Amino acid sequence: MHATVKLSDFLSRRVAPIDKEARPLDTLNVIAKVTFGGELFLRGEKEKRGYKGPLFEALPGDLIISKIRVGQGSFCVIGDDLDHVAVSPEYPIYTPDPTKVDRDYLALVLRTPEFMAELTGKASGNTTKRRIRPEFFESRRIPLPPLPEQQAIVAAWRAALDKAASLEQEAAETEAKAAEAFEAALGFAPPTPLPDRPVFVANFKDLDRWSHEGILRRIVDGAMTHTLPWPTVRLSDVIADLENGWSPKCLDRPAKAGEWGVLKVSAASSGEYLEAENKALPPKSKPRPRLEVKDGDILITRASGVARLVGRASQVITTREKLMICDKIFRVVKPDETRAIRDFITNILGIHHVRGQIEREFSTESGMMKNVSKPVLLGLTFPLPPVPEQQKMIQSLGDARTKASGMRADAAALRAQAWAEFEAAIYDTEDAEIVAEIQ
- Per-residue pLDDT of 158-196, as tens digits, reads 999 999 999 999 999 999 999 999 999 999 976 666 566
pLDDT band at 59 (very low <50, low <70, confident <90, very high): very high
Alpha-carbon span 349 to 381, nearest angstrom: 10
Alpha-carbon span 167 to 159, nearest angstrom: 13
8 A C-beta contact, residue 48 and residue 68: no
For 255-313, how does the pLDDT look when each residue is reduced to its tens digit (9 = 90+)?
A: 999 999 999 999 999 999 999 999 999 999 999 999 999 999 999 999 998 888 999 99
Q: Is the pLDDT of residue 125 over 70?
A: no
For 227-251, how does the pLDDT look when each residue is reduced to its tens digit (9 = 90+)?
A: 788 999 999 999 999 999 999 999 9
8 A C-beta contact, residue 118 and residue 140: yes
CATH class for the region spanning 4-141? alpha beta
Sign of the dihedral through C-alpha 88, 89, 91, 92:
positive
What single DSSP character describes residue 255? Answer: P
DSSP state letters, 150-196: HHHHHHHHHHHHHHHHHHHHHHHHHHHHHHHHHHHHHTPPPPPPPPS
Residue type present at position 238: V
Q: What are phi and psi of 156, to 5 degrees?
A: -65, -40
How much is the pLDDT for 195? 60
Alpha-carbon span 182 to 142, nearest angstrom: 54
Where along the chain do its domains lie?
4-141, 190-225+231-384
pTM for the model: 0.78
- The reply to whether 190-225+231-384 shares the fold of 4-141 is yes
How much is the pLDDT for 204? 47
In the chain, pLDDT over 90 holds for what percent of residues? 72
List the one residue out of 398, 392, 401 whose CA is nearest residue 186. Answer: 392
List the one residue out of 257, 240, 259, 261 whose CA is nearest residue 249. Answer: 261
Arithmetic mean of pLDDT, 346-367: 83
Alpha-carbon span 100 to 7, nearest angstrom: 11
Q: Is the pLDDT of residue 433 over 70?
A: no
In three-state secondary structure terms, 386 is: coil
How much is the pLDDT for 21? 87
Domain 190-225+231-384 belongs to what topology?
Adenine-n6-DNA-methyltransferase TaqI; Chain A, domain 2 (3.90.220)
Average pLDDT score, the chain:
87
